[in-house]
Structure 1
Amino acid sequence: MRLSPARQHRQRIQAEQAARQGGSARHASGYDLMLMQLGEDRRRLKGIQSTVKKAQIKVELLPKYAAWVSGVLAAGSAHQDDVVMYVMLWRLDAGDYAGALEIGRHALSQGWVMPLGNRTVPTVLAEEMADAAQSSLLAAVGFDPALLLQTLDLTADHDMPDQSRARLHKAIGLVLTEHSPAAALNHLNHALQLDSRCGVKKDKERLERRLRNGC
């Protein structure tokens, strides 16, 4: 569902105005309208049990939030915007990883928090990106290692459970295995140091043999 160019422009302007109003941003009419829309869409999603179907619907829903997100990010808003944070989650589920990381970068720089659950923003980014990469590998579908390395860079200075960071290093190692075995081994070693039960020992041994044999 796409908004008309005029509505997209109006939504972006409303988002920038709301963001620039500082502490009163939550009471801006544009933000209230977006929260109402978000509530409707979340109720629709709650009625669906299939994870695959939910992801498909999120792909359909996301375009109508794009102008709002662009406006908030353009304004450099320091004030928590739950609409934008839900869009980050939905982009992850819908496979728009670059778009999710764009929001993640802003959220981390401003100290924003997740609107639900107990995980922090860096933990969500690390775990969800790692899981997406491993799912792609299981499905024999390529995954851009640059997205994982960007995630690692974005979250490097932020606290998270060692197991979560290990998952990210593991995913990077597995994605890099074919084309950059030395770099892959480095990430698998990092993963193992962080979490001895992260499940990389066999992959690590295979890479070590490959590198010893000059393959």
Structure 2
Amino acid sequence: MASPARRHFQRVSASLAAASAAPGETLAGSAYELMLAKLATDRRRLKSIMSIERKIEVKRVELLPEYVDYVAGALAGGRGAQDDVLTTVMIWRVDAGDYAGALDIARYAIAHRMTLPDQYDRPLATAVAEEFAEAALASFKHGETAAVGRSQLVEVSQLTESADMHDQVRAKLHKALGYAAERDGDGAGALEHLCRALELDSRAGVKQDIARLEKAVNATGHGAGRT
């Protein structure tokens, strides 16, 4: 574990590096290059692991803690320049279940129109929307405690609202929002989101849920309808 002095140095170095380039530029300099080199090493290690479960555990326990101070410094001092370390850590945090930490980066990255590194085949906003939606839907499917909170899904929806993405991805997010609303007892809100999911993707798998919710909402006299 790094000493407090070392951690402070990493935060300050990251902050200064992030402040050295403007939006639309790519970061450079020794501090950023060192982190890129570390990232390359960590990627090679992950690539050598066959088990997805093991990869996630390594990210969560061993790798991600080593980027905490870099991320804090980069977010504090950054001006929006492209940072492949930051965006990769965002995805890794999602993989590891650190959704609050991933959102910290997503707010900054989306605001500054950053992109994911070349090995990812999706635009950044699409990845954020889909990864959060799929994590939430997986927890609903297995009856587990919600992996992603409703407020987090709402924020993801707001952050990615203006982004161009496949309708199927947007439908997944509305489906997750619908289930989260239903879990919170908001039948009308759930119905609105599930109907929107169906509009976007006829194969969203929500028709039975919509019928059930329409019956329940009409029975309570709220009269919510499709949007």
CA distance in structure 2 between the aligned counterparts of 1:139 and 1:48, rounded to whole angstroms: 26
1:47-103 CA distance string (max 9 Å, x none): 112211111111121111011111111113321111101100000000011111111
Map 1:112-127 onto structure 2 (within 5 A).
Answer: 112-115=114-117, 116-127=119-130
Letter of the structure 2 residue corresponding to residue 93 of structure 1:
D
CA distance in structure 2 between the aligned counterparts of 1:156 and 1:26, rounded to whole angstroms: 27
How many positions carry a matched residue from both structures? Answer: 214
Q: Which has the higher helix share?
A: 1
- Aligned residue number for residue 62 of structure 1: 64
Per the normalisation by structure 1, the TM-score is 0.94
**Unaligned regions of 5+ residues in structure 2, if any?**
222-227
Map 1:44-193 onto structure 2 (within 5 A).
Answer: 44-60=45-61, 61-115=63-117, 116-143=119-146, 144-178=149-183, 179-193=185-199
CA distance in structure 2 between the aligned counterparts of 1:183 and 1:125, rounded to whole angstroms: 22
Letter of the structure 1 residue corresponding to residue 180 of structure 2:
V
1:113-137 CA distance string (max 9 Å, x none): 0102221111001100000001111
Specify the SS of the correspondent of 1:11.
helix
Contact 1:18/1:25 (CA < 8 Å) preserved in 2? Answer: no
CA distance in structure 2 between the aligned counterparts of 1:86 and 1:47, rounded to whole angstroms: 18
1:28-52 CA distance string (max 9 Å, x none): 1111111111111111111112211
Letter of the structure 2 residue corresponding to residue 51 of structure 1:
I
CA distance in structure 1 between the aligned counterparts of 2:172 and 2:3, rounded to whole angstroms: 41
Contact 2:14/2:32 (CA < 8 Å) preserved in 1? Answer: yes
CA distance in structure 1 between the aligned counterparts of 2:122 and 2:152, rounded to whole angstroms: 21
- Aligned residue number for residue 7 of structure 2: 8
Letter of the structure 1 residue corresponding to residue 20 of structure 2:
Q
**Unaligned regions of 5+ residues in structure 1, if any?**
none
- Aligned residue number for residue 218 of structure 2: 212
* Moved beyond 4 Å, runs of 4+: none
Q: Does 1:41 align with 2:55?
A: no
Per the normalisation by structure 2, the TM-score is 0.89
Q: 1:68 to 1:35 in 2, by over 3 A?
A: same
Letter of the structure 1 residue corresponding to residue 99 of structure 2:
Y
CA distance in structure 2 between the aligned counterparts of 1:3 and 1:65, rounded to whole angstroms: 11
**RMSD after superposition:** 1.6
Identity of aligned residues (%): 45
TM-aligned CA deviation for residue 141 of structure 1: 1.7
CA distance in structure 2 between the aligned counterparts of 1:27 and 1:131, rounded to whole angstroms: 34
Specify the SS of the correspondent of 2:220.
coil
TM-aligned CA deviation for residue 27 of structure 1: 3.2
TM-aligned CA deviation for residue 184 of structure 1: 0.5
Contact 1:25/1:31 (CA < 8 Å) preserved in 2? Answer: no
Identify the match of residue 203 of structure 1 among 203, 209, 213. 209
